[in-house]
Amino acid sequence: MARLSILTPDEINALYAIPSLDDEERSFLFTLDADDIAVLDSFENNTARKVDYILQLGYYRAVNYFFLFSFQKVKADAVFIMRLYFPEEPFPKKQVSKNHHYRNRCEVMNKFGLKDADTDFQSQLLKEAKELVKRHALSRFVLEGLLVYCQQQNVIRPAYSSLQDIVTTALRDERNRLVNKLYTDADKELRAELDKLLTNDELFYNLTLLKKDQKNFSTTEIKNSVAKQQLIIGIYQKSQILMPKLGLSEQNIIYYANLAEFYTIQKLRRFTDKNLVRLYLLCYVHRRFLKINDHLVSSLIQKMTKYADDANDYQRSKIELIENVDSKLRQQACKVLAINIDSGIPDEQVRAKAFEVVPEADYKQFLNEFKKPNLDRDFYRWQYYGQQALTIKRNMRPIFKVLDFSCTNDGLT
């Protein structure tokens, strides 16, 4: 069974290589408390074993792991400890025995309540990995979860190769579970629809997220999104029923959808496991449908906002015009009324003077407009909508026809 390359070499070294320390870090990591001093006192005059104990203690504090080493391999750290705790003693010429080294390790493990990752615990790790995979099938996520689990259980993490094997097994078992369940729970019609995505190049490329996202809110782009949505709505509706049965988390839906997008059509066609490809495509269509719907909802909001803003502008301009006209009419009416009380104007000339302010031919219209100016704001808003009715229908009806405004767990669909 091939092992996954999960971590980078630097990340592996950070977990499984003896840490490289500076003096400030050494001062903190190699600090001894009363319990440590008591352990060292039990070693009598065995300076080498004392140095080994302090080294193991500090390295565990640094990276939560134990190492096999010689004093020459970690000479800088050993010299620091000698100068700090045993300044009168010579640098150890011999390495401590394996027996003393492992007994020192046991002392440190007892101090922190640690356990080794035995066979039973590794079985527990596999169970934990299988649960983690159901949340997210990304190998790094599973490995990091296992490292956290080891820390929570106060267990020394297993070797990297052991963790690789556990993660690989969990991913393989989860993949087999999903493809088997997909085959048994998906009807023949759905399987055929998914297979068709690979036999129709144009259809698949029309669904590609990166290349075929809606570019703008033009009528053409909106109609293209509507067409795409209608192409996959049948698969999406079935996926809504099937996803809970498969036990797919949202993260895993995204993960498998990304794999469908990552592989070329030619590569997907060469997959020997058709049900695995169907799983990728099912998740891809599910995510793609939601993305298209997001575009359509955004388009609907943009169009509604634009028409509402345009109606406000139209309403504002009309009211402003009417108010200007009304102001002019009031000024004219004031002048006409002032003629009636002007003692300098003979009675027989009152009408003629009034017609100088408002021409006789315009007088009836003047009276009608002055009597009841139309300052109803909603009137002009709806007047604008009436004028733009055909344009509004052309741009918004296609969206309304395909969007389902019912509330679901996914929100507005």
Both tokens assigned to 196 = 């068709």
| pLDDT tens sequence across 228-286 | 888 889 999 999 999 999 999 999 999 999 998 888 878 888 899 999 999 999 999 99
- Residue 10 neighbours by CB under 8 Å, 6+ apart: none
Least confident of 9-18, 198-207, 223-232, 327-336: 198-207
Which of 210 and 117 is assigned the larger pLDDT?
A: 117
Least confident of 246-255, 315-324, 328-337: 328-337
DSSP label of 358: S
Would you say residue 123 has pLDDT above 70?
yes
**Closest-CA residue to 48 (of 92, 114, 110, 101):** 92
| Banded pLDDT at 407 (limits 50, 70, 90) | low
Question: Would you say 381 and 311 are in contact if contact means Cβ atoms under 8 Å apart?
Answer: yes
pLDDT at 99: 96
| pLDDT tens sequence across 204-244 | 655 554 346 778 888 888 888 888 888 889 999 999 999 99
- The pTM (predicted TM-score) of the whole model is 0.77
CA distance 81 to 73: 14
| pLDDT tens sequence across 66-96 | 999 999 999 999 999 999 999 999 999 899 9
Mean predicted lDDT score pLDDT of the chain: 87
Average pLDDT of 156-175? 96
pLDDT at 156: 97
Average pLDDT of 393-408? 80
pLDDT at 337: 73
- For residue 267, the SS3 value is helix
Would you say residue 21 has pLDDT above 60?
yes
pLDDT at 412: 47
- Output the DSSP codes for 206-234: HT-HHHHS--SS-HHHHHHHHHHHHHHHH
CA distance 118 to 325: 93
Would you say residue 41 has pLDDT above 90?
yes
CA distance 105 to 78: 17
Single-letter amino acid, residue 154: N
Average pLDDT of 291-318? 89
Position of tokens 């840490």? Answer: 19
